[in-house]
Amino acid sequence: MENKGLNKVDLIFEKINPKEVLQKAFNMTSTEIIQDMLDSGLKGRGGAGFPTGLKWKYTAAEKSQDKYIICNADEGEPGTFKDREILDRVSTKVHGGMAIAGKAIGAKMGIVYLRGEYRYMLPKIMIELKDFHKMIHEIGYDFNIEYRMGSGAYICGEESALFESIEGKRGEPRNKPPYPTVSGVFGKPTSINNVETLVTAMMIINHGAKNFIQYGTKDSRGSKVFSVSGDTPTPGIFELELGMTVQQFVNEFGDGDTKAVQVGGASGFCVPRKKFVETIIGFEGVPTGGSMKLFNSSRSMYNVLHNYLDFFAEESCGQCTPCRVGCQQLLKGIEKVKKGEVKSTYLTELTKLADTMKIAAKCGLGQSVGNAFKSIVGNFREEIIY
Amino acid sequence: MYQVGNLVKELSAKHGHQRESLMPILQGIVQKHSYLTDEAMVEVAKELDMSAAEVYGTASFYTFLDTQVRGKYVIRVCKTITCSMKGKSDIVHTIEDMLRIKPGETTPDEMFTLLETNCIGWCHKAPAILINEMPYTELTPEKISEIIKDYMQK
């Protein structure tokens, strides 16, 4: 397995002349832009990791007068705060990425769905957006961006729930297919990308796909912005090359007593100390939307799991039974085990329930509850029982 | 309880009368009055020519579109893991003592509501809270009591 070590990179926040990069992009054909994305190996930075080039290719192939680019800024995963920082510091690059995506798929309309918790940023962004519109109209390109606000629902980060919310409805995920590339917001072909993905796309146009693939590994190209929190002397935002091991990450950010790292937030995986050396952070190991939480030996992993399950029980939209009932039962289940009301073997039953949720839940929320549950129960069974 | 007056008409003039206008209109009412009354929701339903049940159905899905009485200042304390590890309980206790309300409650003068909420995206500066739209981070009991005092004098 490739191992690149821990390298700091400055791509996302790097100073560029946005006008020059956009001019370059608008002089390319749609096919050329998409080919650049495919060559770069860029995968979505929101967590799911779908290849961006393919998403754009599928949306470009749809025949429709109206298409949409949506920027998913409903950053709700516990432990993630990179999108807020990116929008705060380089919103023009986010808007630029949307315009480039628009050129690639043939969309004239862009919508940023920003989580309600970040509304305080809106006045500043609106000023920057006005300048952005002025700039692209000067270049002679027709593309408009609007902002829509969320109202405190984690589930609206799921793409089809986000569309429902923009349409003024309850944020309940839709059945798939049809996929967003065919029928997204307002039933139109839609490419929905994470904030960081759009900025990365703009930087790929700037530096070229060939330069981009110098960074990262075969399965995880490029660099990524990590949100580091928990038991660390240096919490914050760090852009790092993909392909390091958890051990290398802990050497840099740990407090000397790290017993576990939760990679990818509440819907991600818990990596215990004994697996630090062998686990790669990236799509070949543990994928992450950027959330990295460190826990030292003073923390009870029961409390961590309880906190996550409580989160999911509240944030489940309630539409499908496996998730609505499953989240509640997992939460009640570990409470019963802790109090000794049931035998510890009950954890095996709960694990089966988590497996069922993975298969039967309608969307990514219910399907990924089992990730944290199984990796914490699997690695810290004694802490859950005693 | 407030009177919604012309607000719904003003907001629908700005955001339109389509179904997609619903969220921005409800958000606009909450920005001004902190919560949605039955009267406000019925008014929105009339304005957008849809059923009041649809309006309530949508509003009740979203945590920030409260349909219960909320104070002028809604304090949301993050309870997710990092904030919880870094002293969220001390922050809640300090606010409880100052305002004499528990999480979920509103002061009798309807100035403050105290709530606990899920991750607000400030884990690197935990513990964090929102008061209406404004985030306050890296809190200590001393810092939060200063902040609350400031709001009490507003």
Interface of A with B in 204-243 (CB under 8 A): 227-231, 235-237
Nearest residue on chain A to B122, alpha-carbon basis: A81
B15 touching chain A per CB within 8 A: no
Neighbours of A384 (CB within 10 A): 21
| A340 close to B (CB below 8 A) | no
Domain parsing of chain A, residue ranges:
18-212, 223-294, 301-385
A18-212 placed in CATH 3.30.530.20: no
A223-294: which CATH architecture? Roll (3.10)
Among the partner residues A169, A227, A303, nearest to B124 by beta-carbon distance: A227
What pLDDT sits at residue A2?
A: 56
Query: Residues A296, A301, A307, A311: is their CA dihedral positive or negative?
Result: positive
Please give the pLDDT value at position A299.
Answer: 97
Residue in B with minimal Cα distance to A171: B61
- In the stretch 96-115 of chain B, residues with CB closer than 8 A to chain A read none
Q: Which residues of B touch A116 (CB under 8 A)?
A: 27, 62, 64
Domain B73-153 has CATH 3.40.30.10: yes
| Residue ranges of A 123-182 with Cβ closer than 8 A to chain B | 148-154, 165-172
- A48: confidence class by pLDDT, cuts 50, 70, 90: confident
User: Would you call A171 and B61 a contact, using CB atoms and an 8 Å cutoff?
Assistant: yes
- Report whether pLDDT(A1) > 60: no
pLDDT for the residue A3? 67
How do residues A198-245 score in pLDDT, each as one tens digit? Answer: 999 999 999 999 999 999 988 899 999 999 999 999 999 999 999 999
> Which of A81, A151, A163, A169 has the most B C-beta neighbours within 10 Å, making it the best mutation to test the interface with B?
A151
Q: Is B126 on the interface with A (CB under 8 A)?
A: yes
Q: Given this model, what pLDDT does residue A47 score? A: 82
Closest approach of B51 to chain A, Cα-based (Å): 13
pLDDT at A288: 85
B61 contacts chain A (CB < 8 A):
yes
Three-state DSSP string of chain A: CCCCCCCECCCCCCCCCHHHHHHHHHCCCHHHHHHHHHHHCCECCCCCCCEHHHHHHHHHHCCCCCCEEEEEECCCCCCCCHHHHHHHHHHHHHHHHHHHHHHHHCCCEEEEEECHHHHHHHHHHHHHHHHHHHHHHHHCCCCEEEEEECCCCHHHHCHHHHHHHHCCCCCCCCCCCCCCCCCCHHHCCEEEEEHHHHHHHHHHHHHCHHHHCCCECCCCECEEEEEEEECCCCCEEEEEECCCEHHHHHHHHCCCCEEEEEECHHHCEEEEHHHCCCCEECCCCECCCCEEEEEECCCCHHHHHHHHHHHHHHHCCCCCHHHHHHHHHHHHHHHHHHHCCCCCCHHHHHHHHHHHHHHHCCCHHHHHHHHHHHHHHHHCHHHHHC
pLDDT along chain B (154 residues), means of 10: 94 97 98 97 97 97 97 98 97 98 98 97 97 98 98 94
pLDDT tens, position by position, A77-127: 999 999 999 999 999 999 999 999 999 999 999 999 999 999 999 999 999
Q: What is the pLDDT, as a whole number, of residue B90? A: 98
Q: Tell me the ipTM for this assembly.
A: 0.97
CATH 3.30.2310.20 is held by the domain A301-385: no
Report the chain B residue with the minimal C-alpha distance to residue A262: B81
As a whole number, the mean pLDDT across chain A is 96
pLDDT of residue A4: 73
Can you give the residue ranges of every domain in chain B?
7-59, 73-153
* pLDDT per position as a tens digit, A278-295: 999 999 889 888 999 999
